[in-house]
Chain A
Amino acid sequence: MSDHAAHDDAPAHDDHAHGGIGKYIAVFVALCFLTTMSFLTYSPAWPWRDQPQVGWAFMMAVSCTKAMLVVLFFMHVWWEANWKYVLTIPAAMMALFMVIMLAPDIGMRNRMVSQERAIHMARPSDLLMLERASADAAHAAPAAH
């Protein structure tokens, strides 16, 4: 059922065969690789620089893969019986529901704002103003800034 590590000695008497330590190391290496991959969107080789949604989707895919590896192997769910589906599937559905249900009231809260809020809320033009002020200051006194 699983590969044998060189230092394996005790016979299997639990859910899955002993000697799965090599498997854990393999999962660990995969997790480290995937963590590095999530920075791939920052590298100059990333082709979708002007479509951040592609980057977000990629990063979520990497996270989900890492999560699956941890759940299946570190939490032994790969070897568990059918109750694992009863646990995970409704929870995943509800996590998705949570985001969908909040989207109309919270996600789209800025589609229609009152004038009071419009006066006080931050907007991209504020950031542009601050960046322009910073650039001006850098030009005016490059050593002092």
Chain B
Amino acid sequence: MSSPAISLPHDHDHGQAGGHDDGHDDGHQGHVHLQYQPGLPLSRGKLIMWLFLSTEIMFFAALLGSYIVLRFGAAIWPKPHHVHLSEPIGAFNTFVLICSSVTVVLAFEMAKSNKTGLAKLWMLLTLLLGTLFLGVKAYEYQAKFSHGIFPWAPHGLIHERPDLYYGSAVRARLGEPAIIDRLKELDETPADKLGPEQQAARSALQQVRTMVADPNQQAFDMAVVADQIAPLPAEGTGSHSAGHAHGINDAFPWLRLPIVIPGGNMWASTYFLLTGFHAIHVIVGLIVFAVLLSYPLGRANAGMIESAGLYWHFVDLVWIFMFPLLYLF
């Protein structure tokens, strides 16, 4: 209480400023001693990290809040198996992030007790778990991309309804010069050169080509076309192979015919936005940990580790909310 933390340099010409009990006359120096009262009982680094986290809370609250509103206000929303979303993989990712939160907390505890080797070990583990999370996310993204589910056109193949506009999109794709050449090649391939799935897909493709060219096509015909290209059977019905029903787009990935997923475009947009921003935050956290690994992780640097840990816990927190909203609802 009585140890002064700040000395104000005092100018001779203005005389000595009085009024402080602790002030004393140094003669030619004349310092005024004030007491520094920290506004909050936490270090500056931690304070600024919490202030930053509150901005991040607002950021993700906006994203998640608008997702909630968009999803529950939609006339129809795709089921997880329509968009190749796997709940067990999401649960595994949740588990990975929870483990990484534990490891970063342990790294902090080790650093506080100056056990630098152990602290480094736990921090390395955190880094590895975070990388594992990103790897699983990349695998999930690949599953979407390979089925034509992208967050934007023209990469995305999703149409909302199996209507005449969809039919004309299929017709347009089948009429592209490169596709015409490959289709000709496909038609001329003898049956024994194709696998059984591809033979079945080839005859289904023939049916599709006839139906989209038919001037008397009915509304239900387009549903049949859509079903041949990328089926959406009710869960538990229809025959499945490799975990999801196969269509023409699966047998011939180069074909990339337009598909129908009711509500699929809005789903893709929100899914990729939410998980993409979250993944960017994970990458930033991993960079921070990689940089921290080059520091000695002892008591002196425990504050830095605590702040980095706070950020990482927040990233975990966001995923804890995102997982049920995206995967389970």
Give residues in A with beta carbon < 8 Å to B. 9-10, 14, 18, 20-21, 24-25, 28, 31-32, 35, 38-39, 41-42, 56, 59-60, 62-63, 66-67, 70-71, 74-76, 80-81, 83, 87, 91, 94-95, 98-99, 102-103, 106-110, 120-124, 126-127, 129-138, 141-142, 144-145
Contact = CB atoms under 8 A, between A and B. Distances in A.
B161 A70 contact: no
Interface stretch (B14-22, B149-157, B187-195, B230-238): B230-238
Contact of A142 (B87, B239, B309, B320): B239
Contacts of A122: 75-76, 160-161, 262-264
Nearest to B55: A91
Nearest to B302: A14
A9 B114 CA distance: 11
Interface stretch (B64-72, B124-132, B133-141, B276-284): B64-72
Interface string B220-264: 100110111001111001110000011000000000000010111
Interface residues of B, number: 76
B220 A129 contact: yes
Nearest to B41: A81
Contact of B113 (A18, A56, A83, A136): A18
Contacts of A95: 57-58, 61, 64-65
Given A21-B106, A21-B109, A35-B91, A134 B232 contact: yes
Contact of B227 (A59, A63, A71, A134): A134
Centre residue among A62, A120, A138, A145 by max chain B CB count within 10 A: A145
A6 to B, nearest CB: 14
B58 A126 contact: no
A123 B224 contact: no
Interface of B: 40-42, 50, 54, 57-58, 61-62, 64-66, 68-70, 72-76, 87, 91, 94-95, 98-99, 101-102, 105-106, 109, 112-114, 160-163, 165, 200, 203-204, 219-220, 223-224, 226-228, 231-234, 237-239, 245-246, 260, 262-264, 302, 306, 309-310, 313-314, 316-317, 320-321, 323-324, 328-329
Contacts of B42: 80-81, 83
A135 B226 contact: no
Given A75-B313, A130-B227, A145-B239, A98 B112 contact: no
Say whether chain B's binding surface is mostly helix, strand, loop, or mixed. helix
A102 B98 CA distance: 31
28 contacts: A10-B114, A24-B102, A24-B106, A28-B98, A32-B98, A35-B95, A35-B98, A38-B323, A56-B329, A63-B321, A70-B316, A71-B313, A75-B309, A76-B306, A98-B61, A98-B62, A99-B69, A110-B74, A122-B263, A126-B76, A126-B260, A126-B262, A130-B227, A134-B237, A134-B245, A136-B224, A144-B204, A145-B238
Centre residue among A31, A106, A133, A136 by max chain B CB count within 10 A: A133
A142 B279 CA distance: 41
B226 A130 contact: yes
A107 B161 contact: no
Contacts of B109: 18, 20-21, 24
B69 A106 contact: yes
A133 B204 CA distance: 13
Nearest to B322: A63
Contacts of A106: 66, 69-70, 73
A26 to B, nearest CB: 11
